[in-house]
Chains A and B, each alone.
Chain A
Amino acid sequence: MASKFGLAGGIPERRVRPIWDAVDSRQYKSALKLCTALLAKHPTSPYALALKALTLERMGKPDEALSVCLEAKELLYSNNIFHFDDLTLSTLQIVFQRLERLDLATSCYEYACTKYPNNLELMMGLFNCYVREYSYVKQQQTALRMYKTVGEERFLLWAVCSIQLQAYFSSGGEKLLAFAEALLKKHISSHSLHEPEALSLYVSILEQQAKYDAALEVLSGDLGSLMGREEDKLRLQGRLLTQACNYVAASEIYQKVLESCPDDWESFLHYLGCLLERDVKLPKPTTGEHTCSSCSVDSNKTSLSEEVVESRLASALLFVQKLQKNDSSDSVRGPHLANIEIERQHRLSGNSTKFMEALVNYFHRFGHLSCSSSDVEIYLHMLSGDEITELLDTISRSFDASSVSVKALGLTITTFKVQELLGTLLSKSTTDLQRIAKGMVETFYKNLPLSRDLDPQESMHGEELLSMASNILVQLFWRTRNLGYLLEAVLVLEFGLTVRKHVWQYKITLVHLYSYLGALPLAHRW
């Protein structure tokens, strides 16, 4: 886009800038005054008219704006103007777009380009018009014209992108993609490629045509050095090898990725998928529902025999254990979660001996972190009612809930979160729930000293307790229709905000509760 402050249609910048400033700060009346003054001095300037139209449109006068725009357009089409100015055109385009008349903007640019055939700026403006109208073919043609004019790599890439869009959204894609590939090859033979994005695009064109071996060759050749980060290159290679069904090579590549990024969960899933020669699809946890999703998630059955699956899983486990030894910090949880996933695979094929053990170990190690319950949410949904009770008991027994420490607090919160995720709290009696809610607030209160040394703008330890307590209180309201519970929930959250002013979870819930209770001024204030 042209800069705002050029010399447009012979109008000096100092007269134009205040208008833009006024429009940007929503002072439309003064902008209009300035426009009128400008037009008095330059009555035949399409740019001045465009500015007036812009102001009118912002003021909510679309009909007037449109007629002023059309006036400007007439002037442009007449032969009195010395040269077409991209600034004028782009200003008009903005107004036309807001008036939902993209076609008029496009026709202005088309006319400009026929008048000044090799003006790159105008052609780029025209290209953008076609993009806005999703005219992929015209985009492609314009981009190719620009490429032929100046030979810049980026215009070729724009043309290739336009071709890709056509291939995605219409039929007959193969021929088009082959054409795109040919264009790129020709350019590469004389100019090579200079941008990493160019390489990604070339590889994706080959991938779309299922030419995986060709894509891999490109990556391992000279062009491959454009990809700056080795891990990104490896991931792409892994993906291509998987699609080419070369599972052995793909799994080796993913192993390399995991050795440098042990926390990369997606790569681990791909690794496992390659070993088992199928897609390892995990169900996404459904928000707000507490149903146990079934274990028949993996719709693609492997073609491997059970023995081979077992031995592959064993080798995966060895690899994962090696990764675990390499990094014993709290921040790298991937290899430990991987353990659970491997056991899940065992469970799917009927040998579920160590699944619970893996989950328990995970909680022993990472249960004090606030993300631990959401880490394993998918796996928790696989447990039976008894197993859930057993798990919660094991966790509760592993620490002293009465001690005041960050770790104990974290584990307490995790046990609550697990129950919340699995919906086991909902089945408890009203008195039990009341007791739990009270307990949560008391725990929060008891652990306040832990956050004593934190900056007031940092989040506190145990913040989630009040949110969970208010959730229970709201559930109790729904169960008993006793308004007192809602008021208690409000009080709990308001108390939380006196301790920490900026907890958005409290604020959003409060706004909702206030609105429900009809206390709209309070909701508005928050």
Chain B
Amino acid sequence: MTTIRRFCCDDLLRFASVNLDHLTETFNMSFYMTYLARWPDYFHTAVNPGDRVMGYIMGKVEGQGESWHGHVTAVSVASEFRRQKLAKTLMHLLEEISDKMDKAYFVDLFVRASNMPAIRMYEKLGYVVYRRVLRYYSGEEDGLGKYLECHTYVVSYSDYLLRCYCSHFYFICIFLDMRKALSQDVDKKSIIPLKRPITPDELEYD
């Protein structure tokens, strides 16, 4: 028995058990609050009878013309509440809102190519790989010796922040842009895969 309701600011103080998961990224407060302010309908949380946050989904809708689409920025479920189809419920909710309320053409998301569990889950939910995004990381160690800063602009993914022990190096990370067509896209044009990979500056949206 899961009550699914809109995420609110106070939930930011209660979602540690979800975000401590190594595959879930934690952003800063203003990031979450921007989403809450701009796309409140795309930010939902599931709570259990004891009012504990079981999981949440956050996303947005953007684009123009046939690129008007919903986007899943983050979806995560605490380990205790997994294997209960909660992520599926949250994703369906976002898809329903994108489809019926905002009349978007498709929903997309970014996932790290190495995150097999997530990729399998999205495939089961009907998402296909539309294109691959190659991202170059470079950076220095900061005081803690493990944090890597991105030189490209921040793109938010439903994946973990990479930690590394080396300094001053470049490497390539592959992300998958997965998509699911919605009812507006009658000919399913939005999910015809691209032939070649792209770099982040070729992305149309943040």
Residues in chain A within 8 A of chain B (CB atoms): 25, 196-197, 228-229, 261, 263-268, 282, 284-285, 330-331, 333-334, 337-338, 369-371, 374-375, 377-378, 455, 457-459, 463-464, 502, 504-505, 508
Residues in chain B within 8 A of chain A (CB atoms): 1-5, 20-23, 40-41, 48-52, 54, 79-86, 89, 96-97, 100-101, 114-117, 120, 149, 151
Partner of A284, one of B51, B84, B85, B114: B51
B50, A378: Cβ atoms closer than 8 Å: yes
B117, A455: Cβ atoms closer than 8 Å: yes
Q: Smallest CB–CB gap between A298 and chain B, Å?
A: 16
Given A228-B101, A266-B3, 11 extra CB contacts under 8 A: A228-B41, A265-B2, A267-B3, A337-B1, A338-B1, A370-B80, A455-B117, A457-B23, A457-B117, A464-B80, A502-B22
8 A-B pairs with C-beta separation under 8 A: A229-B97, A264-B3, A264-B4, A265-B48, A267-B3, A285-B50, A337-B49, A338-B1
* Chain B residues near A378 (CB-CB < 8 A): 49-50
B116, A265: Cβ atoms closer than 8 Å: no
Q: Smallest CB–CB gap between B61 and chain A, Å?
A: 12
A228, B97: Cβ atoms closer than 8 Å: yes
CA distance A268 to B96 in the complex (A): 23
- Most A CB contacts (10 A, CB to CB) among B80, B81, B82, B89 go to B80
CA distance A240 to B101 in the complex (A): 24
A228, B81: Cβ atoms closer than 8 Å: no
B22, A375: Cβ atoms closer than 8 Å: no
A459, B40: Cβ atoms closer than 8 Å: no
B80, A264: Cβ atoms closer than 8 Å: no
Known interface pairs A264-B4, A265-B49. Does A331 touch B41 (Cβ–Cβ under 8 Å)? no
Known interface pairs A263-B2, A331-B85, A508-B20. Does A228 touch B100 (Cβ–Cβ under 8 Å)? yes
Partner of A504, one of B22, B40, B54: B22
A229, B3: Cβ atoms closer than 8 Å: no
A374, B97: Cβ atoms closer than 8 Å: no
* Chain B residues near A333 (CB-CB < 8 A): 1
Known interface pairs A371-B80, A374-B50, A463-B79. Does A455 touch B116 (Cβ–Cβ under 8 Å)? yes
Least CB separation from B23: chain A residue:
A457
Least CB separation from A231: chain B residue:
B4
Partner of B20, one of A196, A334, A504: A504
A334, B1: Cβ atoms closer than 8 Å: yes
Least CB separation from B79: chain A residue:
A459
* Chain B residues near A261 (CB-CB < 8 A): 4
* Chain A residues near B48 (CB-CB < 8 A): 265, 371, 374-375
* Pairs of residues from A and B, 8 with the lowest C-beta to C-beta distance, nearest first: A228-B101, A334-B1, A265-B1, A502-B22, A504-B20, A266-B3, A331-B85, A458-B117
Known interface pairs A228-B100, A504-B22. Does A282 touch B82 (Cβ–Cβ under 8 Å)? no
Known interface pairs A330-B84, A374-B52, A504-B20. Does A25 touch B79 (Cβ–Cβ under 8 Å)? no
Q: Smallest CB–CB gap between B137 and chain A, Å?
A: 13
* Chain B residues near A464 (CB-CB < 8 A): 80
* Chain B residues near A504 (CB-CB < 8 A): 20-22
* Chain A residues near B80 (CB-CB < 8 A): 370-371, 374, 464
* Chain B residues near A371 (CB-CB < 8 A): 48, 54, 80-81, 84
Q: Smallest CB–CB gap between B96 and chain A, Å?
A: 7
* Chain A residues near B86 (CB-CB < 8 A): 331
* Chain A residues near B1 (CB-CB < 8 A): 263-265, 268, 333-334, 337-338, 375
Least CB separation from B22: chain A residue:
A502
Least CB separation from B88: chain A residue:
A331
A229, B21: Cβ atoms closer than 8 Å: no
* Chain A residues near B81 (CB-CB < 8 A): 370-371
Least CB separation from B97: chain A residue:
A228
Partner of B41, one of A196, A267, A337: A196
CA distance A85 to B80 in the complex (A): 52
Least CB separation from A457: chain B residue:
B117
* Chain B residues near A337 (CB-CB < 8 A): 1, 49
B84, A369: Cβ atoms closer than 8 Å: yes
CA distance A75 to B119 in the complex (A): 56
Q: Smallest CB–CB gap between B148 and chain A, Å?
A: 12
* Chain A residues near B54 (CB-CB < 8 A): 371
CA distance A267 to B4 in the complex (A): 10
* Chain B residues near A338 (CB-CB < 8 A): 1
CA distance A523 to B46 in the complex (A): 33
Least CB separation from B46: chain A residue:
A263
CA distance A374 to B1 in the complex (A): 11
Q: Smallest CB–CB gap between B161 and chain A, Å?
A: 13
* Chain B residues near A458 (CB-CB < 8 A): 117
* Chain A residues near B79 (CB-CB < 8 A): 370, 459, 463, 505
* Chain A residues near B96 (CB-CB < 8 A): 229
A197, B40: Cβ atoms closer than 8 Å: yes
Q: Smallest CB–CB gap between A493 and chain B, Å?
A: 15
